[in-house]
Structure 1
Amino acid sequence: MARIGIIGGEGRMGRAIALALADGGHDLAGAVDRGGDVAALADASEALVDFSAPGALQHNLHAAIGAGIPILVGTTGLAEEHHRAIDRAAQAVAVLQTGNTSPGVTLLSALVRDAARRLGPDWDIEIVEMHHRGKVDAPSGTALLLGAAAAEGRGVALDDVAQRARDGETGARGHGTIGFASLRGGTVAGEHSVIFAGDEERLTLSHHAENRSIFARGAVRAAEWLIARAPGRYTMEDVLGLDRRA
């Protein structure tokens, strides 16, 4: 069984992953939070899972590189500079970065990409997500993951077509744009719907998370999978063996 270390162990996901490790018979190598010794944790682990904060990412990547072990980055709210740091780290160790570790969401992403490719730009795409009242970033990492899948299906960059906010007199919807709407309230673990709106018909692809444990189990599965991988940047689709060309 794998020895996995958790960065962000006192957070919601950190606690859920610790339970998933125990349920799966894996060893918890340890857990750290802000100010903890990540390098020591990395030395005691076969893989790291990081659900901390964007500001800690660079330090956490360096710890994984120093120990020569893979790292799963589940932290959301990442900027372009963080992705560049992940790309550099992936030259030395295996890195899996994702906005969602659920197998169901991973499959949904593949379906969204395929639908966007087949339906074409005449179908408007809107992504609606809802999370608990304590979530601090919007749109969610999962919503952005789904938006990126839709954009990839159309052969465009998400940053060029994303419309993240509407307020006031916005004018007509831009052709080919991908819209986002974020809802917050209660204790919702995560709900995501991708709406394809065509002329006189509408297709909705959705995922509803009933409990945070689904993300924790997916993270453990992915971290274990990473242990045998060569340096590189991986996705949850790699873990599930999905063909991105399909």
Structure 2
Amino acid sequence: MFRVVIVGAAGRMGRRLVANVLDAADCELAGATEIVGSPFLGSDAGELAGCGHCGVAVGDDLAAAVKNADVVINFSTGGVIEATRTATSAGCAAVIGTTALEDGEKRQLRQMADQGARIVFAPNMSVGVNLLFHLCREVAGILGEDYDIEVIEMHHNQKKDAPSGTAVRLAEVICEAHDWEYDEVVRNGRAGLVGARTRNEIGMHALRGGDVVGDHTVIFATGGERLELTHKASSRDTFARGALRAARFLMTAEAGLYDMQDVLNLRERK
């Protein structure tokens, strides 16, 4: 039985994480935190998640919460590095599902891992999406450079970043397969008289509307045919279940910075 702290427990994703932890047989909710000043401070985390009273109140002191925990799961958008440092300094593992970390923040995660921390960081925790990453890498390598590539993503109308971290990672794995530089080949949208499509180019398109949890499609098109790989998420529970799978992985993992490809053992399948 491992003990879990959820950061951002009152948010949409945080509530689903709480619900899935409470429903799991092999873990327990050890803590739930929110930002200072949140109107949900003091609320029962289980009641916020629609699961009934669980006896864990939402607080704003992560350092206190991690004293009795084994892993921290964090999908929040602010203070990720500070929260991870607080967790790992206390000996906790960390699962990070935040989509918009900057390169400097990623380097800090690597430094923590080099100093003994156990971290899984992935822009998307869905098992299906991570299989899509793997398939896109394989398909790009097999098809070569004779196919035009477009990435299309759609999310709900409250999503703040664009393109999504998942869409960016899809383009990154394709670039890795072709030995391309992301900043040189990715074109975010098209408008005006842009000319014919260049040979080595990945079109990136972000759609926003309604309550879409997350749709991602990668198109490989050439003369006479096209191949489309699509993943559609209909519930945030898919991300929560993936995060718990990552947490289980970290319970026996050595120090390091991992992603869901490691969790799912997909690196062994290349």
Please say whether Structure 1 and Structure 2 have the same fold, judged by a TM-score greater than 0.5.
Answer: yes
* CA deviation vs aligned residue, 1:37-57 (integer Å, no higher than 9, x gap): 12222222101111111x402
Give 1:61 deviation, angstroms: 2.0
Q: Normalization by structure 1: what TM-score? A: 0.95
Return 5+ residue gaps in structure 1 as ranges: none
Instruction: Name the SS of the counterpart of 1:90 in structure 2.
Output: helix
Q: Which residue of 1 aligns with 2:184?
A: 160
Give the distance between the partners of 2:122 and 2:172, measured in 1 at CA.
12
2:18 is matched with 18
AA aligned to 1:168 is G
- Matching residue of 2:86: 63
Q: Which amino acid aligns with 1:29?
A: A
Report what 1:211 is aligned to.
Answer: 235
The sequence identity of aligned pairs, in percent, is 42
In structure 2, the partner of 1:28 is 29
Kindly indicate whether the alpha-carbon contact (under 8 Å) linking 2:95 and 2:247 is maintained by their aligned counterparts in 1.
yes
Separation in 1 of the partners of 2:209 and 2:135? 28
User: What residue is the counterpart of 1:113 in the other structure?
Assistant: 137
CA deviations 1:59-108 (Å, max 9, x no partner) are 11211221122111111111111111111111121111111111111111
Q: Which moved more, 1:169-178 or 1:72-81?
A: 169-178
- In 2, distance between residues paired with 1:119 and 1:20? 39
C-alpha contact 2:88 2:118 (8 A) present in aligned 1: no
Partner of 1:2: 2
Change (3 A) 1:176 1:245: farther
**Higher mean C-alpha displacement, 58-67 vs 185-194:** 58-67
Tell me if the contact between 1:50 and 1:74 (Cα under 8 Å) persists in the aligned partners: yes
Tell whether 2:74 aligns with 1:50.
Answer: yes
2:200 corresponds to which letter in structure 1? G
Give RMSD over aligned pairs: 1.4
Counterparts of 1:145 and 1:134, CA distance in 2 = 21
Query: In structure 1, what is the Cα distance between the partners aligned to 2:131 and 2:82?
Result: 31
1:8 and 1:162 map into 2 onto residues whose CA distance is 32
Match of 2:157 in 1: 133
Preserved CA contact (<8 Å) 2:113 2:119: yes
Larger Rg: 2
Match of 2:103 in 1: 80
Which among 197, 204, 208 is matched to residue 180 of structure 1? 204
How many Å separate the matches in 1 of 2:30 and 2:194?
Answer: 51
Task: Tell me which moved more, 121-130 or 37-46.
Answer: 37-46
Alpha-carbon distance in structure 2 between the residues aligned to 1:175 and 1:150: 14
Judged with a 3 Å threshold, the aligned counterparts in structure 2 of structure 1 residues 167 and 182 are, in CA distance, closer, same or farther, namely: same
Match for residue 172 of structure 2 among 148, 157, 160: 148
In structure 2, the CA distance between the partners of 1:198 and 1:244, relative to structure 1 (3 Å rule), is: farther
- Alignment partners' CA distance in 1, 2:85 and 2:226: 46
Write out per-residue CA displacement over residues 118-159 of structure 1, whole angstroms, 9 at most, x where no aligned residue: 111221111101111111111111111211111111122323
- Whole-Å separation in 1 of the counterparts to 2:91 and 2:180: 35
Q: State the Cα deviation string for residues 170-211 of structure 1 (Å, max 9, x = none).
A: 222222121111111111111110000112210000001111
Report if aligned partners of 1:46, 1:69 keep a CA contact under 8 Å in 2: yes
Residue aligned with 1:125, SS: strand
Equivalent in 125, 142, 165 of residue 101 of structure 1: 125
Secondary structure of the 1:193 match is strand
Alignment TM-score, normalising by the size of structure 2: 0.87
SS at match of 2:79: helix
* Aligned residue among 211, 216, 222 for 1:192: 216
Q: Does structure 2 conserve the Cα–Cα contact (< 8 Å) formed by 1:39 and 1:66? A: no
AA paired with 2:61?
D
**What CA distance in whole angstroms lies between the structure 2 residues aligned with 1:22 and 1:172?**
53
